[in-house]
């Protein structure tokens, strides 16, 4: 029961934080704070690709409903969901992943989490900003926005994890 309850609570918690608080904040300089990608990154290792892509689409679609962005978030979330298995395989520990651990900063460590999540976040943000401008001549602007927004979003996501997540007990 806990296996399903925790992702559901994280889904709604991050969704509500995104649509009711962070969407109302405009830090300036093209920075757009997005914490809902954290939900995709911390889905359990045991979830299959179809499950991850479905949940990625669902959370992106829900953010789109509240943001009037017409599929930008859903598309970026699915792109991130597609990159997730590739990046997790690339950064996998030598012995593979322990299915009892969660892909968050507390269970996997800061170094692993910074490498994987920052890469996933960059994929998400870059896809989002490229589609937002819908012009390849704005690629440098999209790259800069991705770096700035991704950096601030990464810091916010780390704070959320340290404040609200607990380390899984090994069984």
Residue 135: per-residue pLDDT: 84
Determine contact, residues 62/15, Cβ cutoff 8 Å: yes
Residue 168: per-residue pLDDT: 62
Residue 124: per-residue pLDDT: 98
**Could you tell me how far CA 8 lies from the centroid of its own chain?**
15
Distance CA 160, CA 3 (A): 20
Dihedrals φ, ψ of 31, to 5°? -80, 130
Query: Which of these, 43, 24, 106, 46, lies nearest to 58 by C-alpha position?
Result: 43
Distance CA 164, CA 126 (A): 27
Distance CA 76, CA 142 (A): 13
DSSP H helices, the chain, are 2-20, 37-41, 49-67, 72-90, 105-108, 110-133, 139-164
Determine contact, residues 155/122, Cβ cutoff 8 Å: no
Q: Which residues in the chain show pLDDT less than 50? A: 171
* Half-sphere exposure (Cβ direction) of 77: Cα atoms closer than 13 Å: 26
Determine contact, residues 40/56, Cβ cutoff 8 Å: yes
- Domain residue spans in the chain? 2-24+35-94+101-164
The CA-to-CA distance between both ends of the chain, in Å, stands at 17
Distance CA 3, CA 120 (A): 23
């Amino acid at each position: 029961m806990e296996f399903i309850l925790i992702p559901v609570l994280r889904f709604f918690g991050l969704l509500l934080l995104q649509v009711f608080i962070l969407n109302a904040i405009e830090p300036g300089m093209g920075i757009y704070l997005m914490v809902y990608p954290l939900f995709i990154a911390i889905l359990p290792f045991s979830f299959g690709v179809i499950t991850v892509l479905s949940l990625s689409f669902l959370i992106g679609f829900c953010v789109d409903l509240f943001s009037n962005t017409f599929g930008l978030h859903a598309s970026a979330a699915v792109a991130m969901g597609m990159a997730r298995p590739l990046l997790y395989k690339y950064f996998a520990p030598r012995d593979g992943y322990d299915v009892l651990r969660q892909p968050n900063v507390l269970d996997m460590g800061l170094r692993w989490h910074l490498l994987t999540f920052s890469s996933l976040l960059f994929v998400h943000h870059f896809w989002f900003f490229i589609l937002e401008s819908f012009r390849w001549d704005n690629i440098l602007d999209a790259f800069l926005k991705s770096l700035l927004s991704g950096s601030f979003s990464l810091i916010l996501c780390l704070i959320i994890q340290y404040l609200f997540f607990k380390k899984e007990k090994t069984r």
